[in-house]
Chains A and B, each alone.
Chain A
Amino acid sequence: MTRFLFKRLGLALITLVLLSMIVFTVSTILPGNVGRAVLGPFAAQESVDQLNEQLGTNRPVVEQYIDWAGGLLQGDLGVSLTKQVPASDLLRPALENSLKLALVAFLVCIPFSILGGVIAGLRYGSPTDKGITITGISLAAMPEFVTGILLILVFAIWLGWLPVTAQWDEGANVLTQLKYLLLPAFTLTLVLFGYIARITRAGMIEALDSDYARTAYLKGLPSSVVVRKHVLRNALLPTIAVIAVQVGYLVGGLIVVEVLFNYQGIGLLIYEAARQKDLPLLTVGVLVVGVVYLVVTLIADLLYAMLNPRIRFVTAE
């Protein structure tokens, strides 16, 4: 288990370094001239040169990367071009807000989708199963802004139950915040439902068809006990892996949902940095998204290995 842990940690670190190189390359080398890219084609050459001097983007690329990466390691995430404040001051509250939204989304989503998958798996091939599966496929493929707009129309405009945006007044209590978070969280939830339900369903079908499930039935256990004690535990393993992958997806979805609901999270921050051509903030924001994904998948991998003895022992040999 320790070896497995170190191997996964090492791989994650290598991936992280490569990721930082890719992100840096795209944002610094691809524009050709960073100052020109930020200021646009009509800016005077003088101000372009001045900005390049200020950003240090007139130096050799390798030197720039080492400088940037070294800064990151010491906790210096750079300075936002348009807002002129340290990027970390903008990123921290944004990450907190996004985390809040993601948490509500997951809390709403996971019980529903696992329940949906379990029911579909238990009634494999029935109209109920087909209904759940087709709904799942359709929802999973729907862009968030489409589901979001339909939800806004129904719940905010026609029924008037929930607010249109996700911006509450300063100092609002938890209940009010929750009310504002419900619609964006529900939008994210609908997209995730299909994925998680589908994998749970596949896991259920496989586990129900297994020898140990048959043995449990044949030795006369009531089916509720077989499902609870034998089938569910095995069926939910792949679900954990999928939920972790969805976290990465969730961050992508956050951009669109946060723009749609005007919610001050990391997605909206990246979006605004891109709109304003604030390349230093954009670069570090994107990297943070990648780091979040790597950390979550690492945790999920370890959790999965701890729960699944086959992986634990195979890799330990």
Chain B
Amino acid sequence: MTSITEIPPVAARRSEASTARSERIRLLLRSPTVLIGSIVVAFWVLCALLPGLVAPHDPIFDNQFPVSEKPSGAHPFGTDTNGRDILSRVLAGSRNILLIAPAATLLGTVLGTMLGLVTGYLRGVVDDVVSRLIDAVLALPLIVTAILIVTAVGNSSRWVVVLIIGFIFTPIIARTVRAAVLAEAELDYVEAARLRGERAPYVMFSEILPNVMSPVVVEFTVRLGYAIFAVASLTFIGFGVSPPSPDWAAQINQYWTLIDPYWWMTLFPALAIASLVVAVNLVADGVREVYER
């Protein structure tokens, strides 16, 4: 029989958890693809936070330069039809997407984790009903649902887009978390907590939640990639935010019909989106590998 004294004290268990975490971070940083991805993401975050620092010219005011000039030494990415330096607009264009996508992903992760905990732990009728609703929502591609809601609400401001994508992510994340909770709920520590007379919310959030954090972290990073995908696609077809401030997808929406002959107005924002998307997914893939081993 195990005596009480053999159970490690709480502090020891905490430090065990933190060693596991630092071990994971060490593993993550050892992967060259994760490192490259992180550097690219960090660069765009920096550009979003301090737009004035990196952009050589003002990205917003019209007619600073001759209009529609090909890329040259003075303007490596050329100028647009409003006489603005495209390099400056590209460097300043990460802001919207880096604000909306993480906010939406966070909202979806928080709501989805709660929903997954409740349905996975309580089971029964609640679970059945919610699972069918989740199936129904998932039958529609994200972009179709988003277009329908934006049209119905008649508004596509920043926060509406965050809410829409967050709500659509909720069932997807709930499904993953629910599967993890189902496996955890079978384990002895959950039974022990229940026998101690703990209430369901305590068991769910204080006992089970810390043990399903790995899939939650993985879902967050993977969904972040999708959120960027979705925000950019919505903006491109004109159902996302259309701000006065520069935005890659909005730039493409504005100029892609002029792609022949003004290819530089579309190409450089497109490459910027590509770099961010690939970087985020390289990091997400590394996180998944480290957490799912």
Contact = CB atoms under 8 A, between A and B. Distances in A.
A157 B229 contact: no
B132 A146 contact: no
Interface string A146-159: 10011011000100
A107 interface: no
A37 B145 CA distance: 17
B240 to A, nearest CB: 12
B148 A248 contact: no
Interface stretch (B44-52, B57-65, B135-143): B135-143
B148 A144 contact: no
Contacts, number: 151
Interface string A2-31: 000000000100111011001100110011
B105 to A, nearest CB: 14
In this complex, which of A14, A16, A146, A251 has the most chain B Cβ atoms within 10 angstroms of its Cβ?
A: A146
Q: Looking at chain A, what size class is its interface with the partner chain?
A: 35 or more
Interface in A35-59: 37
Interface stretch (B80-88, B196-204, B256-264): B256-264
Contacts of B153: 30-31
Contact of B141 (A18, A31, A141, A251): A251
Interface string B113-154: 000000000000000000011011111111111011111111
Contacts of A279: 151-152
Interface string A278-290: 0100110010011
A308 interface: no
A141 B223 CA distance: 11
A143 interface: yes
B149 A26 contact: yes
A264 to B, nearest CB: 16
Interface stretch (A69-77, A86-94, A178-186, A252-260): A252-260
A100 interface: no
A294 interface: yes
Interface in A234-267: 248-249, 251-253, 255-256, 259-260
B170 to A, nearest CB: 14
Contact of B151 (A252, A282, A289, A294): A282
A294 B132 CA distance: 13
A259 B229 CA distance: 16
- By secondary structure, the A interface counts as helix
Nearest to A258: B237
A137 interface: yes
B274 interface: yes
B229 A15 contact: no
A141 B136 contact: no
Given A146-B273, A270-B147, A274-B239, A252 B135 contact: no
24 contacts: A11-B135, A26-B152, A30-B152, A31-B153, A134-B33, A137-B278, A137-B281, A138-B281, A141-B229, A143-B232, A145-B236, A149-B252, A150-B274, A152-B259, A157-B259, A157-B263, A164-B260, A255-B143, A255-B144, A260-B256, A271-B237, A274-B239, A279-B152, A282-B147
Interface of B: 33, 132-133, 135-145, 147-154, 225-226, 229, 232-233, 236-239, 249, 252, 256, 259-260, 263, 266-267, 270, 273-274, 277-278, 280-282, 285
Interface of A: 11, 14-16, 18-19, 22-23, 26-27, 30-31, 37, 134, 137-138, 140-146, 149-150, 152-153, 157, 164, 248-249, 251-253, 255-256, 259-260, 270-271, 274-275, 277, 279, 282-283, 286, 289-290, 293-294
Closest 7 CB pairs of A and B: A252-B141, A18-B136, A141-B281, A30-B152, A19-B136, A290-B139, A138-B278
